[in-house]
């Protein structure tokens, strides 16, 4: 009979295994492999959200969000289930292609008190401007931005990843986005797989 590892030891072993952290990502198609499905896109004026096959990090394939003038916006959203979790990490990689004047890019995670991103917004996690340089194509252009270890408010059921660029009245905002992650960090076995 095999000896049973303590839960903490097993958790450490799983987290240190290659690719273990990404296995818990609740975002579908976070690396935009083969396109942008199931992300939901929208735009105003001549804004453009869509798939980019050449640029990407860690591999080719990313979301292109372009907003150039006259209050153009481009947006990509995805709703994820977080009802089993109490603490999450939120991160993505972005390739800076230009922003000027009143151009902005609110990349955020909105937490809801109902399934399918319905009901009320309980909290919003906004990604910071700065980040850590990442390898990519081109090698020097990708930056990873993150907010780690955020406690979720009581009653959190779902969350909407909301990626948007806004041109504003003067200026533009244009980004490639890749490797979007919403990772629960407080529980390794959400369905009590460890038997405790």
Q: Please check whether residue 12 lies inside any domain of the structure.
A: no
How many independent structural domains does the chain possess?
A: 1
- Give the C-alpha separation, 13 to 17, whole Å: 6
Q: Please check whether residue 122 lies inside any domain of the structure.
A: yes
- Give the model confidence (pLDDT) of 14-26 as tens digits: 444 444 444 589 9
Give the pLDDT score at 59: 84
C-alpha distances (whole Å) from 182 to each of 1, 3, 27, 64, 100 are: 37, 33, 6, 20, 29
Instruction: With H, G, I as helix, E, B as strand and everything else as coil, classify residue 13.
Output: helix
Q: Please check whether residue 16 lies inside any domain of the structure.
A: no
Q: Please check whether residue 193 lies inside any domain of the structure.
A: no
Q: Where residue 139 falls among pLDDT bands split at 50, 70, 90?
A: low
Q: Please check whether residue 35 lies inside any domain of the structure.
A: yes
List the domain range (segments joined by +) for residue 180.
26-184
Give the pLDDT score at 64: 94
Q: Please check whether residue 194 lies inside any domain of the structure.
A: no
Q: Where residue 99 falls among pLDDT bands split at 50, 70, 90?
A: confident
Give the pLDDT score at 14: 42
Q: Please check whether residue 15 lies inside any domain of the structure.
A: no
Q: Please check whether residue 43 lies inside any domain of the structure.
A: yes
Residue 69 maps to which CATH number? 2.60.120.260
């Amino acid at each position: 009979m095999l000896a049973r590892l303590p839960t903490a030891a097993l958790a450490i072993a799983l987290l240190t295994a290659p690719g273990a952290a990404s296995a818990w990502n609740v975002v579908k198609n976070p690396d935009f492999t083969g396109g942008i499905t199931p992300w939901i896109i929208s735009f105003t004026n001549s804004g453009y959200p869509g798939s980019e096959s050449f640029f990407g990090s860690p591999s080719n394939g990313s979301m292109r969000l372009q907003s150039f003038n006259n209050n153009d916006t481009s947006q990509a959203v995805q709703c994820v289930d977080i009802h089993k979790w109490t603490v999450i990490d939120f991160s993505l990689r972005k390739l800076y292609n230009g922003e000027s004047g009143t151009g902005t890019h609110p990349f955020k995670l909105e937490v809801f008190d109902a399934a399918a991103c319905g009901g009320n917004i309980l909290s919003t996690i906004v990604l910071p401007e700065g980040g850590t340089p990442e390898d990519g194509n081109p090698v020097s252009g990708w930056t990873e931005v993150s907010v780690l270890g955020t406690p979720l408010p009581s009653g959190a059921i779902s969350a909407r990843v909301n990626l948007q660029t806004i041109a504003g009245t003067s200026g533009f905002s244009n980004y490639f986005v890749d490797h979007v992650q919403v990772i629960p960090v407080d529980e390794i076995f959400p369905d009590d797989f460890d038997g405790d």
